């Protein structure tokens, strides 16, 4: 694994290399070289099993992280290739020609995150969400709870009480207390 990375380092500019386990390494590479590296690993290093293509939304940084998971079945190790792309007008080079299932992944990412993969077959077709008219739902700013509150109507009559504020109301309504809300987030 170490010598493989040394070999790759001479060809590619790899950053943020992190060994999560002895046989699983995460690394970051620039957007323009990603598919090149994936192809190289498949054709020359025996990473023939494509595990997963995933996306992480780093909304604070305005970036999507695409993660390509490749597995080397002979030597039994994995490389996860991270690449950061802009969140606005997100677009990535398609890799559907490398493995057949990538078409499905790219369709899903298009639908769930709004990332475009020009040239990927059927990338604009509905995958899971037929007739969806909101923003791509896996984006961090999409609030599932808010959506369900706006879309559906809860059964009437539920009301809960926060123990601390209820006790204040019952036992010492006029006395000074700290004005912080008692409960943490949510």
Partner 1 sequence: MGKIKDILSPFTAWGNVVKEPVTIKKPIGREAAPRYRGFHKNDIDTCIGCGTCEVICENEAIDLVPVDGIETKDGDSGLRPMIDYGRCCWCALCVDVCTTGSLTLSNEYTWVSEDPDEFRFIPGVDKKSWDDNEKGWKKPEPNYEFYGKKRVEMPELHAEDRDKSFIEFVTGYSKQQAEEEADRCVECGICTATCPAHMGIPEYIKAIRNDDLEEGLRILYETNPLPEICGRICTHKCEDVCSVGHNGDPISIRWLKRYIADQNPSEKYKEILNAENIENNGKKVAIIGSGPSGLSAAYYLALTGYECTIFEKLPEAGGMMRYGIPEYRLPYDQIDKDINYILSLGVDIKYNVNIGTDITLDKLKKDYDAVFAGTGLHLGRSTRIPGSDHENVYFATDLLREISLGNEIHVSEKIVVIGGGNVAMDITRSLARLQNNKFGKVNVTATSLESEDIMPADREEVVEAREEKAIIDPGWGPTSIEIENGKIKGLHVQKCLSVFDESGRFNPKFDESNTKFFEADMIVESIGQGMDVEYISEEIREQIEFDQRGRIQVNDYFQTGAKWLFIGGDIIQGPDVIHGIANGHKAAIGIDKFINQNG
Partner 2 sequence: MNNLFNWEPDRSKYPTVKDNGELDVDLSSHKFTKLWVGPNHPGITGNMAVEITISGDEIVQAKTHVGYLHRGFEKLIERRLFIQGFPTCIRMCVAEPDYNEYILSKSIEDLSGIEIPEMAEWLRTLALEMARLQSLLRTVPGQGGTFSLGLGVQWGMYLRDLISDRFEELTGARIYHMYILPGGVRGLLPDGFKARMEENLKLIDQFVINIKKLMFDNVIFKKRAIGVGVIKKEWVDQFGIVGPNARAVGISRDIRKDYPYLKYQELDFEPPIAKNGDIFARSTVRYQELIQTVDLIRQIMAKMPEKGDIKSPTPNVLHWKIAKGETYIRSESSRGEYGMYYVTDGSDKPRRINLRGPSYNHAMSLLEHMLINANISDVHAIMVSLQTCPPEIER
- Residues near partner 1 (CB under 8 A) are 155, 157-168, 170-172, 174-180, 182-184
Rounded distance between C-alpha atoms, residue 86 and residue 92, angstroms: 10
How many residues in the shown chain lie near partner 2 by CB under 8 A? 36
180 binds partner 2 (CB under 8 A): no
CA torsion 98→99→104→105, rounded to 10°?
A: -70
Q: How far is the CB of 49 from partner 2 (least distance, A)?
A: 6
Judged by CB under 8 A, the residue of 128, 135, 164, 181 near partner 2 is 128
Tell me which of 4, 39, 40, 69 binds partner 2, using CB under 8 A: 69
Which CA distances in Å does 112 have to 6, 57, 115? 36, 11, 8
170 binds, among partner 2, partner 1, none (CB under 5 to 8 A by kind): partner 1
How is the chain split among helix, strand and coil, in percent rounded to 5? 30, 25, 45
Question: Do 89 and 64 contact (CB within 8 A), yes or no?
Answer: no
130 near partner 2, rule: CB under 8 A = yes
Question: According to the binding rule CB under 8 A, does residue 24 interact with partner 2?
Answer: yes
Least distance CB 157 / partner 2 (angstroms): 25
Rule CB under 8 A: which of 87-126 touch partner 2? 99-101, 103-104, 126
Type and span of the H or E element at 18: strand 15-21
Torsion 24-26-32-33 (CA) sign:
negative
**57 makes contact with partner 2 (CB under 8 A):** yes
Task: Give the one entry of partner 2, partner 1, none that residue 64 binds, where binding means its C-beta sits below a cut-off of 5 to 8 angstroms depending on kind.
Answer: none
Q: Which H helix or E strand runs over 169?
A: helix 163-171
The smaller minimum CB distance to partner 2, of residues 8 and 42, is found at: 42
Sign of CA dihedral 125, 130, 136, 139: negative
Structure tokens at 49: 């099993």
Residues that bind partner 2 (CB under 8 A): 20-21, 23-24, 26, 48-52, 54-57, 67, 69, 73, 76, 78, 80, 99-101, 103-104, 126-130, 137-138, 142, 144-145, 184
């Amino acid at each position: 694994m170490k010598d493989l990375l040394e070999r790759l380092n001479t060809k590619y500019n790899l950053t943020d290399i992190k060994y999560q386990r002895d046989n699983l390494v995460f690394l970051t590479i620039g957007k323009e070289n990603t598919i090149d590296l994936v192809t190289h690993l498949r054709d020359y290093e025996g990473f023939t099993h494509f595990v997963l293509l995933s996306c992480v939304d780093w909304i604070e940084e305005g970036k999507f992280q695409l993660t390509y998971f490749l597995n080397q079945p002979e030597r039994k190790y994995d490389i996860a290739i991270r690449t950061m792309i802009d969140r606005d007008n997100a677009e990535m080079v398609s890799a559907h020609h490398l493995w057949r299932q990538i078409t499905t992944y790219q369709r899903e990412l298009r639908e769930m995150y709004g990332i475009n993969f020009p040239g990927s077959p059927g990338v604009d077709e509905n995958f899971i969400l037929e007739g969806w008219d909101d923003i791509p739902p896996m984006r961090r700013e999409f609030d599932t709870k808010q959506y369900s509150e706006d879309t559906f109507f809860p059964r009437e009559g539920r009301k809960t009480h926060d123990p601390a504020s209820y006790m204040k109301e019952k036992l010492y309504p006029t006395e000074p207390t700290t004005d912080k809300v008692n409960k943490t987030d949510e």
